[in-house]
Chains A and B, each alone.
Chain A
Amino acid sequence: MNASMSQCLMQMVHTDYVIADYQSEIAPRWCTGCGDTAILTAMQRLCRDEQLPPEKTVCVSGIGCASRLPHYMNAYGFHGIHGRALPVAEGIKIRRPDLNVFVTTGDGDCCSIGAAHWLHAIRYNMNMTLLLHDNNVYGLTKKQASPTSPQGMKSNTTPFGATLNPLNPLTVTLGVSNVSFVAQAVDWIPDLLYDILRQAYHHKGFSFVRILQRCPNFMEHRFDDWVRDPSKMRILTHANGLRLKPEVSRVYKNQETHDPLDMPRALALAALKEEIPVGILYRDPTVPCYDELRAGERPSTPGLVELVLNEEFDKVGIWPAETAPAAAGE
């Protein structure tokens, strides 16, 4: 079908966004060497390559190092309350489905105080992308154990070592009904991080991307074994998943072909201990989205909202027979 007149007129307005268009006036305050910078760069590359208008892009975050990201993006942002990034993002998406919504959150923000919202966001499967910056520690508050801290890790809150086994955000997410997209990336392979974010963005539904991220100050050697030994990184490839560039393929030779629709294998991969799987673990584009299921027949114009409210109030009103309001039907 031919383009409509509005589409033709819109094409007259030429936009060519570059990375600088997505960089805010505030310089990132993350520590030098922090993995968050790689995630920010990947986000800005994605926005540039998809030519997302800054005014149509929203980054929502909670509290934590990761949650500072909206400040550094030249787009709409909401640096919200601890753990509550997802409810805010869901509100934005249901009211403004035309916006591209990204949620940046950390392992503490998402998997601890925000855990309830996280589970229900997976179940709602609303069309947005969640970036879980997982550095296994509360870094903003200067080293406290988070739900994903390894057992035995000494921190300010666990001076004798963390007591419990860490929570695995991947297996948890894969176990929630309506899950539609689960991927894992690491900040130290930026090409794959970018590629995974791109696929997450294009997935229609709730895309959950866990990004293992180095914290050079409070978890300085946490991922050294994997950073230094590429053979301990298991790269998941598939015709419907990642396709590696030769440069990446040359370094990361430990590769496995994994069909993103294979849930049992996805669960097994997510539970790997010695190796870190990187790639798309699970993707099912057929899962229905709550925002689409709940999309009303009519937009909630101020007139409709007023009328519906008045109708509800009128139900409990007491009217003299001759002044009863007429039913306002079609």
Chain B
Amino acid sequence: MQQQAEITKTPASTTAPTEDEAPALPPLRPALFARYTDLESLRYDYPLVLLETGDGGPLFRPLSRIVDDVLSVAAPPDASGEAMRQQVLRLEARIRRNVALGREGMLSDLWQDNATRMVKESGQSPFGSLGTNLDIARKRLTLDGVVIGCDHTTPGKVVTHTWRAKQNAKARRFRRKVEGLILRLTDILKSDHMKSDEAHSAGALASAMGQDQDSSIDFGSLSRILDRARPEDRLPEDRVRRIKTALEALQCQPFFGPGRATEICRRRPAPYSYTFDSCAAALDALRERLPAILEFTKAVTIAELEVENKYRPDLHDPIFETFDVSDLTADQMELLPGSLILLHDGVTESAEIARAFEALAGGLQITVLIQVDDILGPTSPEPPRNSFGAGTARLASMAMGLNNAFVLQASSAHLYRMQEAFQRGIQHQGPALFSIYSGATRTVPGVPPYVLSAAATESRAFPNFTYDPSAGSDLAARFNLAHNPQVGVDWPEHRLDYETADGERQSEALPFTFADFAIGDVRYQRFCHPAAQDDWTPDMVPFGQAGSGPGAKDRIPEPYVLGLTPENGLLRVGVDDKIVQAAARCNDAWRRLQELAGINNSHALRLLSEERKNREASAIEIAAALPTADATPALPEAPPSPVQLAQEPAPEPTGDDPWIETARCTTCKECTQINSALFKFDENMQAYIADPDAGTYRQIVEAAESCQVSIIHPGQPRNLEEADLDELRERAKPFL
């Protein structure tokens, strides 16, 4: 939030806002808000286009970026494209104004509608330069979606859009899986049917040829010469019944709509609805769906077993007979749609928060949005109201403790910049909590929600962070605080330029603190004491530096922040203890988040200081021991020699016994055909000598001679009585 303001210090010297329709500004605003009263003239992250894209694509994109993309391809980069650039930017400004007035819609419609009006108002022909250029640019629009502004409805719209994208991706996965199973089960039944007498009948054969009444083929004869079905070739009846039951349950599932070309099922009920505005309603609906979930999950599991041919009735029947809720696993539930629960601070009952946390902790497939419109809460205990209270900014931090839920906290102003985190939230398998500050706080009048929500993040009142349990096993991988400005410091600093009463230009680096954020809220203005320059006292110290100035102990400091009058006059605003204490609490919470993110981690700092002390102490010891040290330091041990991976080859058998190099045998069966008792195959179908006495020496020598790869070694004859031994010994020599 780099801000520059040019402000006169004397209120009287400024001109009042000229636009009558501008909402009344609050009596006090933080000084750094000076330049952000009219957002319509700025190109920023809103209006945001909620993109209709497929799996894994971007979820949303600011209108200004889309227009830039269009211009980069439609308008020539030189001066000849300048006219088109100006015209398209005017169109963009016009759309932005309309969206701010609540006229939201599809980008393509808004573009067309506003372009037509612009051309009409300009008095040009639709075929003039304006109409032609806007039309050329429109044809370059590749993205489309609903255009939304930044107001109290933004968090709901963005999270619903994100949730829908997740459900669409889920629906695709679901249909792929379920239809794959349907296809395979149908295949099994069809192949069984093909073996039946019915499939071989003359009628079936004729119909397989189409409806052309061709009499040239005698289907009756054809049927008679085909094999008759054998009962043992058919599937068992119980298996057919099981497959048909599972098939029907898959075809009639009520969880996702039928999509394109899913099997038509007459008894298919209307798909369930999954969006709720209370946890109680969501849990009731889940209870109602449970029997259908059980039936469907059972069918999927049976189908998976059947297509792998792994269903064994004796093993699996008892399991499916007692299949109940306790058998449902997270991956089975992940296949089914999750619920979206939209909770709204100030609208939903406070007790819903406890229910939401319970549901999240239970690992149910739910996405909860807690929309926060008011961070500061009442300034004093008030009668119970329909609100989550001042702790709303801490709900997401608390949800991190659940450990299994994806948690995202963000202000509306940063949604686009946290798009990647939203995409991770979609991919997370399990519950998710989104806590979003809309910036539409009623007690801060006149400040646009976008500015206020950005200020909430800048002041650390509502920091942006994500906690993604699926990103890794440690906190460093899971927790991300990077989407905050100047994340390493307590309060981010920005430069403020202003003009003094003497017309002198001044520039000052200002921290944007919790106190700056609080002074804009009308409820807190009774704890603020604006002081014009004449009333400034030496006891006034900038907020955050109290207690550190010279002679601080001698006087009570009066912390102040710089504020603005409605006329953009610069004031010092003294802040009360109430605000100082609230700021301290806010700072404390921020430091805790910093520590979680590894910034100024107290454990690490403590270890570091201990290590430093130890090092210093050991350095002193070494220095003291040096004069007497004469022993040469021991050489480091030689690294162990690498393990001998190659095994020693098995020694060749020596002596007089016949043997075979079994590992080289090619299973050619020459030897086993000579004597199948003497030569046998091992478990790898390779020959070995099973019993050297089961045959003659002649057979062994003949086998050695006929062996194609010469791996039979005959050794010496075992029976010295055998005939022609001398001749056989001579023939065996080449193979010994």
Contacts and interface: CB of A to CB of B under 8 A. Distances in A.
A35 interface: yes
Interface in A45-82: 45, 53, 55-56
Contacts of B300: 6
Interface residues of A, number: 54
Interface stretch (A86-94, A242-250, A265-273, A316-324): A242-250
Given A37-B668, A249-B649, A301 B179 contact: yes
B663 interface: yes
B260 interface: yes
Interface stretch (A111-119, A184-192, A286-294): A184-192
Contacts of B327: 5
Contacts, number: 145
A251 B649 CA distance: 11
Name which of B179, B665, B666, B670 has the most chain A CB atoms within 10 A of its CB. B666
Given A40-B667, A228-B710, A9 B683 contact: no
Nearest to B180: A299
B238 interface: no
Contacts of B706: 33
A14 B687 CA distance: 30
Contacts of A199: none
A247 B646 CA distance: 11
Name which of A37, A56, A188 has the most chain B CB atoms within 10 A of its CB. A188
B500 interface: no
B617 interface: no
Contact of A45 (B259, B304, B685): B685
B647 interface: yes
A249 B304 CA distance: 45
Interface in B208-231: none
A47 to B, nearest CB: 12
Given A248-B663, A304-B261, A34 B710 contact: no
B264 interface: yes
A5 B329 contact: yes
A16 interface: no
B708 A33 contact: yes
B664 A191 contact: yes
A234 to B, nearest CB: 17
B319 A190 contact: no
Q: Is the interface of B mostly helix, strand, loop or mixed?
A: loop
A188 B262 contact: no
B684 interface: yes
A246 B646 contact: yes
B16 interface: no
B295 to A, nearest CB: 15
B248 to A, nearest CB: 14
A40 B668 CA distance: 10
A303 B262 contact: yes
A188 B708 contact: yes
B647 A246 contact: yes
B262 A13 contact: no
Interface in B693-736: 706, 708-710
A303 B264 contact: yes
A328 interface: yes
Given A9-B315, A53-B309, A247-B661, 15 more contacts: A5-B327, A6-B300, A6-B304, A9-B316, A12-B315, A32-B669, A33-B669, A33-B708, A41-B666, A41-B685, A190-B666, A191-B663, A302-B263, A304-B260, A330-B259
Interface of B: 172, 175-176, 179-180, 182-183, 186, 257, 259-264, 300-301, 304-305, 308-310, 312, 315-316, 319, 327, 329, 331-332, 646-650, 661, 663-670, 673, 683-686, 706, 708-710
27 contacts: A4-B329, A5-B331, A12-B312, A19-B685, A32-B670, A33-B708, A37-B666, A37-B669, A41-B685, A41-B686, A53-B309, A190-B664, A227-B710, A228-B710, A245-B663, A247-B661, A247-B663, A249-B646, A250-B649, A251-B661, A298-B175, A300-B183, A301-B183, A301-B186, A301-B262, A304-B261, A307-B261
